[in-house]
Every structure is written in structure tokens, then in C-alpha cells.
């Protein structure tokens, strides 16, 4: 019943997913066939302009809706162009424009991407908007205009002044942005990253939610986000310093979006400018339209008559002030919405990396961007929120949900089990300590939820831990960052690069220094160091490149990159990948008595049928637990398990997704025997023998199993894997003298220790292995995995069981002997591959066709996906 219920739930999720995807497809279809712009209002005119992308004219067209307000009984009035901000379109000037239109001709366009103009355009930047406005002026045959730019369009107006200075009679900046240094975080790259996150979020909502076009016109939408993301304010400082004509700057004293300091900096850079400050914030154009319009109308009339200052007419004092370099120390700390945004971003960033975010927050404090309290608060709130999410994930979703997508993508079930054990043993103290132990937070807080710990108790312990950790880490980063800031004035243009570098250094220090305060942390650092400095633990991508290049050379030499797949004609791809283990063992059936008894259990049967098939196999051969389960297609020990009970058998079948081999358990010593025979030779040879050892630890009556593993000089090298394997017993204290086996499988990447077994090689053993191999017609090259109860018997070529045979990609694993050098390992592997190519070439000459390269690539791709599934 439980199984059926689980499947029914999964089917239900699939049903809702299909419905959701169908709605999403319909939504995209509706949006695709809808017009790219909404119809213009009755009072608007429409112009058709050329589309733009990065200053490049495109063949597409863009429609611009605009109002043209004319004053009554005024001859040749000044022409004023009102430029709105983002995300609000020309509706910004609904009350303001009529006031100005009493004495001026007022043009009020919806810039492309906004309002009733074309919404979907290639480039939403302020620079492209300036070019669209120039096209509009050309279409209306207007030679000169006065610009009134609100908010984001301050950048549009400045680009217009740069591109066509002769056409701009004056600029009025109303709550308008300008210099980069006083926008949000003050740095283009950081701001660009923030705007990129905003764009990504809004795009995901717009494209991933079935809304049938309704979200395309909401206040905060993708065009708004693109407007900021596509724009670059860095050139605006230079434009301001070269602007020649009259300028009026109108700003609110308490503007939370564009700080007063920005208006003051613009006033300094433009010596002929006038600064008028009003009580209020960013919404002056909405809250004080009559007052603002009166001041701007007076300024425009005076500029029209040539009675406002130009740059050449500015006072010497103002001009000297404008020539002074920008002083970063004068940047005020973030306030209002900017401060709220920073705090929110810090809180959000903790969900990615808590420690790195705290370090970055300290650097922001050191730079003066925000205060210590605000920075610490942002980090603290984010940490609290993130860890409460983990707690509730454990409490309300439970174990089954953590094994399903999307939770399984983020949470490792073994890590969660470790956290549960640790919590049961140590109680609430674990919550506080985990804050100072990297890698333990996630499993600990999820385990607290799974154990149904009281939320308020959890909250109290966690807040205490976060209150100790967060302020301290931010403070340390601030102090160190402050020292660095003393030198940044010498290298101002590289300041953020230096700070980012410092953040990375501090993060590495946190990862290296903090673990030194715990025994587990110190030993895991030892584990990382040994795995880094001992080549036998290197990952495949680091170890194999020289061998791959040598294989490519052999492929060119033999005029076929895949000729080695002909080395074993009877095995799929020669045993490169994707071969069936059961098929190989069945072909060795003639060597009865030397092959471990086995049976293939097909996945086509349900769980109960597979369990009964295993019981039948065990009864037929009088076997009892333990028995070995392994995937029929697999590699590097993935999915292999020694099963000791019927419940473990059912658990294995519950997770397996393919055909399974069930095999008798052969106790004793394990060896890897690499054998080859050229097709024209009468007898084959043993290329190498691996003596496989299974590490153990011995209890002392005081240390936990975890401590025994971490203290062992060899086991510590595989600490992460072994701790995962034995997570259920880590906190047990074995009795003095009790021997605990750590590994059951003879696979190096799963903890076994490999030694060169050349001393085992004898003529009798070689003859026996050759005799077994002769029973497998079409096999010439590969490695046997063999179990024997007696090494002496094995040397005599008797009393052993073959548990597996691998083909051309099997290694002469004796290379992993800790005493071997890296160069010796490469020498052995290259010789092994040379023999594989030679045998393949001889078989090709006998008419055997190698696997085509395209087919081999397909096999590799499929095998990779299978291997990832088996690792889960």
C-alpha cells in the first residue's frame, strides 16, 4: 500500500506538472500572437522609427506614441520635450505637462519599451533611447528643443546633449540620475550584477508563469529591468563635464532613489547650472506639479531668450570647483530605499554563501557604503530566514520530500542522517556549535525539523548562535577592509577589484582557519591535503589527460581512434562502456567452479517478483545472506552493495532503476588480475596483479567510530566517503579491541587500498587464468576481479572465484600502490593501452569491425547519465 501510495502521489505531481506546462504553452501562444504594443490613447499621435541595437540601425520598425500639447495664442513658443523615467511612462507628466503647455509647445513621448509605444525592442538602454528621440525630432522637423528629464531619463538627456549639442537649448534634471558613483552601490559591475538578478527574477516570472499577457503590463516588468540592465552610467560624468548650455537641477531633499549627493555632484560638475531643492522625495513631479512647472517654465523662457548662463559664462570659482577630482570619501552612506535594497540583497546573498556574504558586508562597511548595524542586520536576517527554511523543510516536508526533486538537488540524505544522529546525541548544543563548523549547518537544522524539535526552542538557540557569529565575522571583515581602504585612494580605479580579491581571501581564511578549532575540521583538512598531494586520489579529469593524449596518438598511429574496441569482439564496445556484466559472466560459464554463481534480475518485474526471483536463486544454490547486488551495467563500483537481509534487499530494489545481478558472496582476499593474449599467440599472459586490502579500525573503548576513522592515517584520506558510508554508526563507541571493517568492496575510489601483487604471480596461476579465459571465445584483454580464501591456493591457480571481468577500460589497478610514482603509473597505463590497440588492430585485420566513433560517443553519453543515476 505504501508503494502504491508513493506512486500515486508521484503520478499526481506529474498530472499537475502537465497541466501547468499546458497552461504555460497556451500563455506563450497568446503572448506570441498579441500585438507588440498596446493601442495609443485617443489623445496620442504615433510615429514609426527604425529599431536600434547598440547604435546599430535594424530593419525592424518601432512605433512611438506621444502627446503634442500646443499653447493657445502663443506665437513660436519654446519647444519642450518631456522624458519620463522607469517604469512609469508618459503618464508621469499627466498633471505637470498641461501646466507647462500654457506657454510652451510640450512633446510627451512614451519611450520605446514603455506605455503605448512598442514594448518589445532589442535595446532598452538610455543611449538607444537618446537615438530614438533624435529620430523623433527629425521626423517632426524640430531643430532645437529644451529637455526636461525625470529620473532615469537624466541619462537619456545627457546622451542627447553629447550626440547633438546644437539641438539642445537647455536641460532640466528633475530627480534625475547621472554619475555612476552615486547610483545604488556606486560601481558599474556591482550595480550590473544587481540589475541582472532583478532582470533574471522578473524574466522567470514573466516566462515561467502562465499569465496570458497580463504580467507584461505590470508596474515592475521586464522592460523596466532591461532599461537598467542595458544602460551604462559610466560615460555620464564626462558628458556632464563637457556640457555647455544652461542646466536647471530640481531635486528633493529626501529622495530615497537618487540621493541628494548626486544632484549636488551634478551641480558641481556643471558650473553654469542652478540647483533648486524642495522638501520631498523622488515623487516631486507628482506631488508638486504646479510649483515645479512654474520654476521650470521660468527657466526655459529665460534660456530661450539667452538670459541663462552657459559654461563659458560660469564664474571662475564654480569653474575651479568643477575641475577638482571626485572625492570618494564624500559619498554618503546609503539611505532610504537604497539602504533597504542593500540590506535585502545581503539577506538574499546569505542563501548562497553565508560566510562570504558576511565578509562582503564588512567590506561594504569599510568602504563607507553602509553602516555596520545595517550590514550586520542584513546578514543576520538572511541567515535566520535561510536556516528556518531548512528547519521547516525537515519538519513539514519530511524524509520522502527530501528524496524528490527539487529538494534532492539541494539536500544530501546522508548528510541529513549525520545531522540527526549528532543532534540526538548532543541535543540543543549542536545548534550553537554548528554555526562555527562549516558543512554542519544544513544537516543539523534539517535534522532538527525532522526530529520535530520545538520551533521556539530551535529559534532561541539559533538566534544565539547567529548573534555570536554574524557580528563577529562582519566586524573582522570591516577592520581588515578598513586597513585596505587606506591604500585604495592610490589605486582608486582598481578599488572594487581589490576589495573583491580581499573578500575571496577572507572567505578562504574562514574555510581554512575556522575548521582548525575542531578535531573533525583539522582532520578533514588533513584529508584534503593528502588527497591533493597524493596522485592516487586525484579525480579522473586531473589524472587522465596525459593518457588521453597518448590514446589519441595511438589512434592516429593505427588510423582509427576506436580500433581498441575490437580487442574483445565478444564484448559490447570491447568493454569500453555499456557492457553487460551478466553476459560476460555467462560467457565464462565453461569455467565452472571458478565463476561466482549469479543470476540476472530484470527490472521489468515488480518489486515483489524480483524479491521472489532472488529467493529462488538463493534456494537453488543453498545460499544465505549476505549476497551481492550490482547493476548489470555500471562502473567503478557504483550501485554495488552487500545485502544482509530481506529488508535491505527490498530497499535496494526500491532505489535501483535497471537490471540487477544478484551474486553469491565470496569471502576472503580479493585480487585484480589483468590478463591479455594476442590473437596469434598460443597462451596469454598476466600483465599485472593488484592485491586489494580492506581497511579496518580497532576500537579503544573511548573514541567514537568517527574519531577512529579520522585518526587513522589511511582512512583519513577517504574520510568524506567513509563517514558517509558509516553515518549510522559514527557516534558509537566500539569496545576496546573490536575490529570495525570500513570497506567491503574492492574498489579504490570506495576506500580499498591497492598494492602491487607481483609476488602473487606464478606460472601455475598464469596457466589457470589463461585456461579460464579460453572458455570465453572473443575475449583477449581485461581484468578479472577475484576472491579467494587462501593466497597460497591462489598462487597455485586453484580455489578462487571470479566475481567480475572488465574489458578495455579496466585499469591495471596495481598502479595505485601508494609506493608507486606518478610516472610509473603513466608508464604502465600507456603500455596497457598500447597492447589494447595492438590486439584491436590484429582483430581488425581478421575482419572484426571496430565500433564507429559516433556510436561510441553515444554510448559514452548514455553511460554518463546512467552513472549519475547510480551514484544517487
Q: What is the DSSP letter of 83?
A: E
Contact 223, 119 (CB under 8 A): yes
Report residue 169 as a C-alpha cell: 537649448
Percentages helix, strand, coil for the chain (3-state, rounded to 5) are 55, 15, 30
3-state secondary structure of 86: coil
pLDDT in the model for residue 4: 35
Per DSSP, the residues of 803-869 read EEEE-TT---GGGG-TT--HHHHHHHHHHHHHHHHHHHHHHHHTTPPPPPHHHHHHHHHHHHHHHHH
Q: Identify the H or E element spanning 543.
A: helix 540-543
* Grid coordinates of 187: 560601481
Gap between the Cα atoms of 578 and 633, Å rounded: 6
What is the CB-side half-sphere exposure of residue 541 using CA atoms within 13 A?
0
Q: Where are the alpha helices (DSSP H) in 368-494?
A: 372-392, 398-402, 413-426, 429-434, 441-450, 455-488
Q: What is the reported pLDDT for 476?
A: 78
Q: Which residues pair with 671 in a beta bridge?
A: 691, 786
* Residue 249 φ then ψ, to 5°: -115, 120
247, 173 Cβ separation under 8 angstroms: yes
Please state, in angstroms and rounded to a whole number, the distance separating the CA atoms of residues 562 and 843: 12
> Does 597-665 carry CATH code 3.30.1490.20?
yes
**Please, what CATH class does the domain formed by 45-186+229-330 belong to?**
alpha beta
CA 476 to chain centre: 28
Q: 168 near 192, Cβ under 8 Å?
A: no
Is the distance from CB of 187 to CB of 342 less than 8 angstroms? no
What DSSP element (H or E) covers 871? helix 853-871
CB 744 within 8 A of CB 712: no
DSSP annotation of 628 reads E
Question: H/E element holding 226?
Answer: helix 222-230
Q: What is the reported pTM?
A: 0.55
Query: Residue 369's closest CA among 339, 327, 341, 340?
Result: 339
For residue 338, how far is the Cα from the chain centroid? 27
**Residue 16 CA neighbour count, 13 Å, CB half:** 5
Contacts of 850 (CB under 8 A, 6+ apart): 560, 562, 563, 564, 565, 566, 840, 844
Task: State the Cα–Cα distance between residues 706 and 518, nearest whole angstrom.
Answer: 13
Give Cα separations from 11 to 106, 405, 520, 554, 844 (angstroms).
Answer: 62, 14, 43, 51, 50
Q: Is the peptide bond preceding residue 406 cis, with omega within 30 degrees of 0?
A: yes
Cell of 710: 579520522
- 350 contacts 382 by C-beta, under 8 angstroms: yes
DSSP string, 737-804: T-EEE---S--GGGT-EEEE-GGG--HHHHHHHHHHHHTSTT--EEEEEEEES-HHHHHTT-S-EEEE
What's the pLDDT at 762? 97
Domain ranges of the chain: 45-186+229-330, 336-517, 597-665
- Residue spans of the chain under pLDDT 70: 1-14, 36, 328-330, 332, 334-338, 352-353, 356, 396-454, 457, 480-503, 505-507, 509-511, 513-514, 864-872
- Write out the three cell numbers for 761: 604471480
How does DSSP classify residue 39? P
Asked whether 236 and 181 are in contact (CB, 8 A), the reply is no
DSSP reduced 3-state for 570: coil
Task: Using the structure block, give the residue that is written with the C-alpha cell 567513509.
Answer: 722
- 113 near 124, Cβ under 8 Å? yes
Nearest to residue 449, comparing CAs of 498, 390, 377?
390
Helix (H), strand (E) at residue 178: none
Amino acid at each position: 500500500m505504501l508503494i502504491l501510495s508513493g506512486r500515486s502521489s508521484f503520478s499526481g505531481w506529474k498530472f499537475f506538472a502537465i497541466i501547468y506546462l499546458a497552461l504555460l504553452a497556451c500563455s506563450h501562444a497568446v503572448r506570441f500572437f498579441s500585438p507588440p504594443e498596446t493601442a495609443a490613447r485617443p489623445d496620442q499621435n504615433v510615429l514609426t522609427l527604425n529599431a536600434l541595437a547598440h547604435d546599430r540601425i535594424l530593419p525592424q520598425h518601432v512605433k512611438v506614441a506621444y502627446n503634442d500639447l500646443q499653447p493657445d495664442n502663443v506665437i513660436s513658443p519654446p519647444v519642450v520635450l518631456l522624458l519620463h523615467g522607469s517604469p512609469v511612462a508618459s503618464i508621469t507628466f499627466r498633471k505637470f505637462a498641461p501646466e507647462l503647455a500654457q506657454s510652451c509647445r510640450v512633446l510627451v513621448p512614451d519611450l520605446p519599451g514603455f506605455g503605448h509605444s512598442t514594448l518589445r525592442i532589442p535595446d532598452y538602454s538610455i543611449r538607444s533611447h537618446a537615438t530614438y528621440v533624435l529620430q523623433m525630432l527629425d521626423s517632426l522637423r524640430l531643430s532645437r528643443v529644451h529637455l526636461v528629464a525625470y529620473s532615469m531619463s537624466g541619462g537619456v538627456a545627457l546622451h542627447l546633449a553629447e550626440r547633438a549639442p546644437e539641438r539642445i537649448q537647455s536641460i532640466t534634471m528633475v530627480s534625475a540620475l547621472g554619475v555612476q558613483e552615486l547610483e545604488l552601490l556606486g560601481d558599474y559591475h556591482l550595480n550590473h550584477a544587481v540589475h541582472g538578478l532583478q532582470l533574471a527574477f522578473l524574466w522567470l516570472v514573466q516566462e515561467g508563469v502562465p499569465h496570458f499577457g497580463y504580467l507584461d503590463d505590470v508596474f515592475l516588468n521586464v522592460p523596466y529591468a532591461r532599461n537598467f540592465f542595458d544602460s551604462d552610467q559610466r560615460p555620464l560624468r564626462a558628458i556632464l563635464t563637457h556640457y555647455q548650455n544652461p542646466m536647471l537641477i530640481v531635486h528633493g531633499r529626501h529622495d530615497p532613489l537618487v540621493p541628494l549627493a548626486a544632484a549636488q555632484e551634478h551641480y558641481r560638475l556643471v558650473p553654469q547650472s542652478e540647483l533648486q531643492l524642495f522638501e520631498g522625495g523622488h515623487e516631486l513631479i507628482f506631488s508638486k506639479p504646479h510649483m515645479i512647472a512654474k520654476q521650470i517654465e521660468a527657466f526655459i523662457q529665460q534660456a530661450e531668450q539667452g538670459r541663462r548662463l552657459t559654461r563659458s559664462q560660469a564664474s571662475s570659482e564654480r569653474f575651479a570647483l568643477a575641475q577638482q577630482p571626485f572625492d570618494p570619501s564624500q559619498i554618503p552612506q546609503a539611505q532610504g530605499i537604497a539602504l533597504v535594497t542593500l540590506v535585502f540583497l545581503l539577506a538574499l546573498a546569505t542563501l548562497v554563501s553565508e560566510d562570504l556574504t558576511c565578509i562582503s558586508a564588512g567590506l561594504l562597511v569599510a568602504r563607507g557604503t553602509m553602516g555596520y548595524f545595517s550590514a550586520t542586520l542584513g546578514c543576520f536576517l538572511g541567515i535566520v530566514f535561510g536556516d528556518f527554511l531548512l528547519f521547516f523543510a525537515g519538519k513539514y516536508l519530511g524524509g520522502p520530500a527530501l528524496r524528490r526533486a527539487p529538494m534532492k538537488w539541494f539536500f544530501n540524505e546522508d548528510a541529513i542522517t549525520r545531522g540527526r544522529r549528532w543532534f540526538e546525541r548532543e541535543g540543543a548544543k549542536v545548534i550553537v556549535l554548528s554555526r562555527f563548523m562549516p558543512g554542519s549547518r544544513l544537516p543539523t537544522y534539517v535534522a532538527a525539523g525532522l526530529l520535530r524539535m520545538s520551533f521556539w526552542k530551535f529559534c532561541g538557540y539559533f538566534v544565539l548562535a547567529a548573534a555570536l557569529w554574524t557580528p563577529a565575522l562582519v566586524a573582522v571583515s570591516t577592520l581588515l577592509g578598513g586597513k585596505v581602504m587606506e591604500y585604495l585612494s592610490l589605486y582608486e580605479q582598481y578599488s572594487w577589484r581589490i576589495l573583491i580579491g580581499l573578500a575571496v581571501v577572507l572567505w578562504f581564511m574562514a574555510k581554512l582557519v575556522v575548521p582548525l578549532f575542531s578535531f573533525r575540521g583539522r582532520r578533514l583538512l588533513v584529508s584534503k591535503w593528502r588527497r591533493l598531494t597524493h596522485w592516487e586520489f586525484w579525480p579522473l579529469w586531473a589524472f587522465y589527460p596525459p593518457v588521453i593524449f597518448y590514446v589519441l596518438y595511438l589512434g592516429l598511429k593505427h588510423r582509427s581512434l576506436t580500433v581498441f574496441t575490437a580487442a574483445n569482439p565478444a564484448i559490447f564496445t570491447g568493454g569500453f562502456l555499456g557492457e553487460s556484466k551478466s553476459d560476460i559472466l555467462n560467457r565464462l560459464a565453461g569455467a565452472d567452479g571458478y565463476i561466482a554463481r549469479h543470476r540476472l534480475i530484470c527490472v521489468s518485474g515488480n518489486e515483489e517478483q524480483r524479491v521472489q526471483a532472488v529467493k529462488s536463486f538463493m534456494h537453488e544454490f543453498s545460499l544465505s545472506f549476505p549476497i551481492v547486488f550490482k547493476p548489470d551495467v555500471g562502473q567503478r563500483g557504483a550501485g554495488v552493495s552487500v545485502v544482509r537481509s530481506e529488508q535491505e534487499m527490498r530497499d535496494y530494489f526500491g532505489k535501483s532503476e535497471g537490471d540487477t545481478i544478484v551474486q553469491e558472496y565470496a569471502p576472503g582476499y580479493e585480487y585484480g588480475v589483468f590478463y591479455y593474449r594476442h590473437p596469434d599467440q598460443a597462451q596469454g599472459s598476466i600483465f599485472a596483479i593488484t592485491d586489494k586490502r580492506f581497511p579496518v579500525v580497532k576500537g579503544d573503548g573511548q573514541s567514537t567510530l568517527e574519531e577512529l576513522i579520522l585518526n587513522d592515517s589511511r582512512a583519513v584520506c577517504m574520510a568524506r566517503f567513509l563517514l558517509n558510508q558509516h553515518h549510522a554508526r559514527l557516534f558509537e563507541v566500539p569496545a576496546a579491541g573490536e575490529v570495525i571493517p570500513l570497506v567491503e568492496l574492492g574498489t579504490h575510489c570506495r576506500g580499498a587500498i591497492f598494492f602491487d601483487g607481483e609476488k602473487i604471480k606464478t606460472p601455475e596461476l598464469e596457466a589457470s587464468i589463461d585456461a579460464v579465459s579460453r572458455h570465453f571465445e572473443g575475449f583477449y584483454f581485461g581484468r578479472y576481479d577475484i576472491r579467494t580464501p587462501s593466497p597460497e591456493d591462489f598462487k597455485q591457480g586453484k580455489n578462487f572465484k571470479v566475481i567480475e571481468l572488465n574489458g578495455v577500460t579496466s585499469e591495471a589497478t596495481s598502479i595505485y600502490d601508494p609506493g608507486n610514482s606518478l610516472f610509473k603509473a603513466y608508464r604502465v597505463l600507456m603500455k596497457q593501452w598500447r597492447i589494447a590497440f595492438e590486439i584491436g588492430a590484429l582483430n581488425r585485420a581478421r575482419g572484426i569491425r571496430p565500433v564507429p566513433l559516433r556510436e561510441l560517443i553515444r554510448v559514452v553519453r548514455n553511460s554518463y547519465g546512467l552513472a549519475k543515476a547510480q551514484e544517487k
